[in-house]
Chain A
């Protein structure tokens, strides 16, 4: 049986907005587990509660309710002991000292975990080489490119020798090439047996790296599935219909009301995700009513970005239905 390393149990956190004094429930009963060696993607739109959840896992924010257990240690009871098992890159390149060199940053953060420079010398050398930072080791961080800074922040987190690495938006603001390079590094890290939680908006990162994903919206977990399963789920319920003629205004209205996850391209190419298998018959009825010709029906090939958008939209439409 695979060992569960992290247990997030019923986390709740609310804030009062400073200006309006309005109460915001940022995280509302989030729970999930992470197995040792797993890479978990934590996804959600802006303001969904991802960063608050990550910070509660690190013990930087105390939850109103619930707890986080890492390797059997409850963070809310014994935070410092728990921190021996976690390292994090929370604000990317801002986590570094810009007036120190790349090497000085690595040495300083190692010292901050109680390790001597001598003890970590070999590891620092290895990391500088592996992260292609050796040439720039004596360069001030302020003079490094954003990609290099991001890689250095990752190297600092790795130097902690922790079981778990938490990454908040590790590819944010990187160009395609560096983003790819960081993804490859993350892959290598995971192959070394580290457990990683990545909070990101970058869907290729999730599709490429994560085995499982937890999607949070409005502070609640709306999906906790293996990435592959989510993709299959949506692939089988997503269709592309090529129509012989354009939809009438009335048809379009009915379509939006019944199937909110639809997209009409050039007036005749309808991409639609159905919630249930039987919905296909309702769709046919709707098209038949105005004698719309269906030239072709295809199953779509879906990417993870579309899966994510579908889930979020589905959640929104459920919320609208429940209000109505």
Chain B
């Protein structure tokens, strides 16, 4: 199947780039490990000992979500900027499979590799600190993946802006703070945030990891809200991206940087 080959090729490409830029990859791994370890050990020391466990769970869940959301959101836009700088962007647009599929497969490869690294590091730091979180991988990963689908949609919106403007770094910096706010605010405090991307997902995972929720503790409404939110954002994102692509092609902006 062509799309599977596309995913394979782009995952391999991401992996090769991680190897080629090894110092950068190692420093990223080191940083995440230290952050996890710091969270697991530090909050015990700083916070109220009675609530230490809940606090650790809360902060780590939020951090992982913030991190994965950030890399997912910025990856597609960053890929476009990077390819335009290299001069390979137009070459990618020559693929009969369509640029959005290339971007999606590049992102799938990127998330898969980063996901493995983050989860591995989380287990490693839990083993190092001898503190174990209620991870429930089946449920957590399912919710995380569905949530990421919606985030990919928002990523495509950013990519659409990148195709036209190319330089969107300033916006990305502001976006980091918006994302942090969304990841850290519980849905119970601001219920309207259910309409925002990924907030429902973070909230559900928080329930799993902090209150020990299982599959049956969530209502059908919870799952529906999660899936509908993600699917709607994905479709809007791709639609917006394709519109921007059309504008860029009409104005002859694809090759510009």
Contacts and interface: CB of A to CB of B under 8 A. Distances in A.
B5 A116 contact: yes
Interface centre among B1, B9, B86, B92 (most CB of A within 10 A): B9
A94 B95 CA distance: 17
B97 A113 contact: yes
B95 A112 contact: yes
Given A115-B5, A116-B5, A95 B88 contact: yes
Interface in A1-56: 13, 15, 52, 55
Given A113-B95, A114-B2, A114-B3, A100 B13 contact: yes
B114 to A, nearest CB: 19
A259 interface: no
B94 A58 contact: yes
A117 B12 CA distance: 11
Of the candidates B95, B102, B254, B255, the one having the most CB atoms from chain A within 10 angstroms of its own CB is: B95
Contacts of A113: 2, 95-97
B173 interface: no
Interface stretch (A80-88, A234-242, A267-275, A294-302): A80-88
Given A99-B20, A112-B92, A114-B1, 14 more contacts: A15-B252, A52-B252, A60-B249, A60-B254, A81-B96, A91-B87, A91-B91, A94-B86, A95-B90, A100-B13, A100-B16, A111-B6, A111-B12, A114-B97
Contacts of A58: 90, 94
Interface string A86-106: 111011001111111000100
A309 interface: no
Interface in B221-249: 246, 249
Contacts of B9: 107-108, 110-112, 117
Contacts of B246: 62
A103 to B, nearest CB: 11
B8 A55 contact: no
Contacts of A52: 252
A61 interface: yes
A97 B88 contact: yes
Interface in B71-93: 86-88, 90-93
B137 interface: no
A84 B98 CA distance: 11
B10 interface: yes
Interface residues of A, number: 37
Contact-residue size bin, chain B (C-beta under 8 Å from the other chain)? 20 to 34
B94 A108 contact: no
A90 B88 CA distance: 9
Q: Which of A52, A60, A80, A96 has the most CB of B within 10 A?
A: A60
Nearest to A96: B88
Interface of B: 1-3, 5-6, 8-10, 12-13, 16-17, 20-21, 86-88, 90-98, 102, 246, 249-252, 254-255
A111 B249 contact: no
A59 B20 CA distance: 33
Contacts, number: 100
A105 B9 CA distance: 10
A107 B9 CA distance: 8
Given A62-B249, A81-B96, A108 B12 contact: yes
A114 B86 contact: no
Contact of A112 (B20, B90, B97, B250): B97
In terms of DSSP, what is the predominant structure of the interface of chain B?
A: helix
B146 to A, nearest CB: 27
A86 B9 CA distance: 20
B86 A98 contact: yes
Contact of A108 (B13, B254, B255): B13
Contacts of B17: 99
Contacts of A104: 13, 16
A60 B2 contact: no
A88 B96 CA distance: 12
A180 B217 CA distance: 73
B3 A62 contact: no
A92 B76 CA distance: 25
A324 B181 CA distance: 69
A107 B6 CA distance: 11
B242 to A, nearest CB: 11
A281 to B, nearest CB: 49
B5 A114 contact: yes
A116 B8 CA distance: 8
Contacts of A94: 86-88
23 contacts: A13-B252, A55-B90, A58-B94, A60-B93, A60-B94, A62-B249, A62-B250, A83-B94, A90-B91, A91-B87, A97-B13, A100-B20, A108-B9, A108-B12, A112-B6, A112-B102, A113-B96, A114-B1, A114-B2, A114-B6, A114-B97, A116-B8, A117-B8
Nearest to B91: A95
Contacts of B88: 94-97
Interface in A104-155: 104, 107-117
Contacts of A99: 17, 20-21
